[in-house]
């Protein structure tokens, strides 16, 4: 996926949409916009973007906001990738959209270059974890209680390496810095993060399941 | 009984209360009188020509039916749309309605009284068994709709009151917080730093209000750390991203760690570049805090010995509680302060 990344921006506030469009870098092209669930689904179907920047709280639809959009779009063949954007730091919001299929979660206080970077990363199929999301993952997977997966396939726990990566991201390290600190390549860091994302989406760990059940997105 | 509404003299009414809504001319008293006269005529005619002699129960039964209809009749106008607005209902009850209800109850009671005395059979036992239930049913039928309506109205009123309370609560909070801050921002509109600080503080306040997590600083070290970081944000007008994993009651050692983290964050805010991030993790045996800025970095070995910030407020403080603090930094790169204190009772001897 080379060249310009085509994105659709979905947010119910015009000001935020304009701001997001302006702060995106040169090599990102905004091909559509949506202001609620219906217009978002339509814009995504029409434009066929690489990435959708999606606000978590949206009017319309079944009342589930971003979850409705994710639900409708991920069922179709060849869906775009989703990057969730929100002012909310609430764990339920974060985990709900990620479990519903978003490949990343950033807050609206993110800077322009960081957002551009996050969009490109998501377009390439990687996951984008903000420090807060990383902290939440550590919390939910019981990392502080010492739960360590022995095999990678254990979806309810993180491996020691994944925990280290999450910890460094939570401490504010960029992927490059994480790689430098752990003496691994950026590619390896990305692999670990994607593995964590997969666990976050598929795990039935009860903390996660609880939040998922609350939001009816099981 | 017929003196309500339509019968007051129009001239008098115009003079005294020009805005009074004119009640529609009540047709029901005339209908009542007409029906009664028709019944009397029918009775006379039937006895004269010996057509049809129904039992003596016909008149009381008819009286009961008419009475019930009269009692129910004000309900349909009052119940539908106005059940949602209880304050309207009180005023809605005109004298016309009251008169209908009273007459209706009177008629119904008369027929019930008659039925109670009616000797329809020779066996007193049958009467004793039959009459009270029949009277109770008749009574319930008469006033049941009113009771139901009352219950529904009480429910509506209650939910209304709860909603009103919530609304007042939110309005009061918004007034005390957002409106005050907006006024302050307008006053300081030519000082960007002050405006940014006010906006940030307000954002935080609203956030805690919306995503309420009300644990006190003593109960939760995460809350204590957040409060400390917030005060640094306020003092230095910077944004600090704080993430906490795990939680525990704030004991003496954790408090020391939080105080050290506060000092470290304040240093980062003074000397470092944004973004500044704080990460805290409670694990089984340690509480660790990492405070990180994005440059410009310095050489920790070359801090003058008379500078007490790092040496005393950060390192000394946590070392007295059995922990340690380390500063990792290089000129031109990011600085990270790592604060770690032990947890749990087995380390109690080390702590003091």
A46-94: pLDDT as tens digits:
888 889 998 888 887 777 777 888 887 877 777 888 998 887 666 677 7
- Whether the pLDDT of residue A215 is over 60: the answer is no
pLDDT band for position B290 (cuts 50, 70, 90): very high
| Cis bond before residue B296 (omega within 30° of 0) | yes
B284, B292, B336: residue with CB nearest A145:
B284
- State if pTM tops 0.80: no
Which chain A residue has its CA at the smallest distance from B337's CA?
Answer: A171
Average pLDDT along chain A: 81
Instruction: Provide CB contacts within 8 A for B63, sequence distance 6+.
Output: B107, B108, B110, B111
| Mean per-residue pLDDT, B262-284 | 86
DSSP 8-state class, residue B300:
G
Query: Rounded to the nearest 5°, which phi and psi values hold at A53?
Result: -90, 115
Helix (H) / strand (E) containing B191: none
- Listed in sequence order, the residues at least 6 apart from A118 whose beta carbon sits closer than 8 Å to its beta carbon are A83, A104, A106, A110, A128
B104 forms beta bridges with none
Residue B21 has pLDDT above 70, yes or no: no
C-alpha span between A9 and A194 (Å, rounded): 23
| Min Cα–Cα distance to chain B from A79, Å | 32
B352 pLDDT above the threshold of 50: no
Closest Cα in chain A to B207? A88
Interface touch B244/A88, C-beta < 8 Å: no
% of chain B at pLDDT higher than 70: 80
Cα distance from N-terminal residue to C-terminal residue, chain A: 32
Is A90's Cβ below 8 Å from some Cβ in B?
yes
ipTM: 0.76
Residue A166 with chain B: CB contacts under 8 Å: none
pLDDT at B345: 56
For residue range B200-234, what is the model confidence (pLDDT) as tens digits?
A: 888 878 877 776 666 777 888 888 898 898 888 88
CA distance A57 to chain B (A): 14
Look at residue B4 in the predicted model and tell me its pLDDT: 45
Residue of B nearest to A132 (CA): B243
Kindly determine whether residue B243 and residue A167, on different chains, have CB atoms separated by under 8 Å: no
Q: Give how far the C-alpha of residue A153 lies from the chain's centroid of Cα atoms, to the nearest Å.
A: 22
Percent of chain A whose predicted confidence (pLDDT) is above 90? 4
Nearest CB partner across the interface for A171, out of B207, B244, B277: B277
Q: Measure CB to CB from residue B279 to each of A88, A135, A146 and give the nearest one.
A: A135
pLDDT digits 0-9 by tens, B149-169: 888 888 888 888 888 888 888
Mean pLDDT for B272-297 is 85
Instruction: Give the pLDDT score at B7.
Output: 45
């Amino acid at each position: 996926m080379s060249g310009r990344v085509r994105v659709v921006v979905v947010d119910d506030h015009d000001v935020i949409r304009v701001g997001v469009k302006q702060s995106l870098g040169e090599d990102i092209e905004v091909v559509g916009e949506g202001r609620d669930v219906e217009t978002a689904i339509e814009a995504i179907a029409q434009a066929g973007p690489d990435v959708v920047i999606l606000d978590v709280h949206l009017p319309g639809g079944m009342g589930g906001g971003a979850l409705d959009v994710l639900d409708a779009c991920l069922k179709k063949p060849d869906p775009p990738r989703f990057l969730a954007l929100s002012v909310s730091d609430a764990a339920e919001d974060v985990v709900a959209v990620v479990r519903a299929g978003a490949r990343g979660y950033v807050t609206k206080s993110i800077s322009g270059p960081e957002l551009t970077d996050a969009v490109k990363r998501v377009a390439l199929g990687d996951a984008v974890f903000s420090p807060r999301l990383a902290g939440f993952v550590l919390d939910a997977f019981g990392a502080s209680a010492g739960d360590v997966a022995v095999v990678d396939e254990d979806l309810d726990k993180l491996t020691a390496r994944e925990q280290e990566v999450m910890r460094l991201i939570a401490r504010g390290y960029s992927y490059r810095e994480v790689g430098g600190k752990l003496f691994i390549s950026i590619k390896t860091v990305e692999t670990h993060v994607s593995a964590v994302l997969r666990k976050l989406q598929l795990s039935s760990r009860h903390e996660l399941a609880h939040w998922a059940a609350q939001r009816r997105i099981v | 009984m017929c003196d309500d509404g339509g019968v007051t003299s129009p001239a008098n009414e115009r003079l005294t209360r020009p805005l009074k809504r004119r009640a529609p001319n009540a047709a029901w008293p005339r209908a009542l009188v007409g029906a009664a006269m028709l019944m009397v005529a029918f009775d006379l005619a039937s006895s004269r020509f010996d057509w049809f002699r129904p039992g003596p129960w016909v008149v009381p039964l008819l009286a009961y039916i008419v009475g019930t209809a009269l009692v129910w009749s004000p309900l349909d106008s009052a119940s539908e749309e106005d059940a949602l607005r209880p304050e309207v209902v009180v005023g809605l009850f005109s004298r016309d309605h009251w008169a209908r209800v009273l007459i209706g109850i009177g008629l119904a009671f008369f027929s019930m009284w008659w039925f109670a005395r009616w000797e329809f059979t020779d066996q007193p036992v049958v009467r004793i068994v039959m009459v009270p239930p029949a009277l109770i049913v008749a009574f319930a039928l008469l006033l049941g709709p009113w009771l139901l309506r009352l219950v529904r109205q009480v429910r509506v009123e209650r939910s209304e009151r709860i909603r009103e309370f919530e609304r007042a609560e939110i309005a009061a909070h918004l007034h005390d917080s957002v409106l005050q801050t907006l006024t302050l921002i307008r006053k300081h509109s030519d000082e960007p730093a002050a405006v940014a600080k006010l906006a940030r503080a307000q954002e935080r306040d609203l956030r805690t209000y919306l995503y309420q997590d009300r644990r006190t600083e003593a109960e939760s070290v995460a809350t204590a750390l957040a409060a400390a970081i917030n005060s640094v944000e306020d003092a230095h007008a910077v944004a600090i991203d704080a993430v906490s994993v795990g939680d525990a009651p704030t004991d003496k050692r954790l408090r020391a760690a939080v105080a050290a983290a506060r000092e470290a964050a304040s240093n980062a805010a003074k000397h470092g570049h944004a973004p500044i991030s704080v990460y805290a993790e409670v694990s089984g045996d340690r509480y660790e805090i990492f405070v990180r800025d994005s440059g410009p970095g310095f050489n920790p070995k070359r801090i003058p010995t008379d500078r007490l910030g790092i040496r005393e407020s950060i390192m000394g403080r946590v070392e007295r509680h059995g922990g340690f603090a380390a500063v990792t930094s290089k000129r031109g790169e990011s600085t990270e302060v790592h604060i770690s204190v032990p947890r749990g009772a087995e380390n109690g001897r080390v702590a003091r």
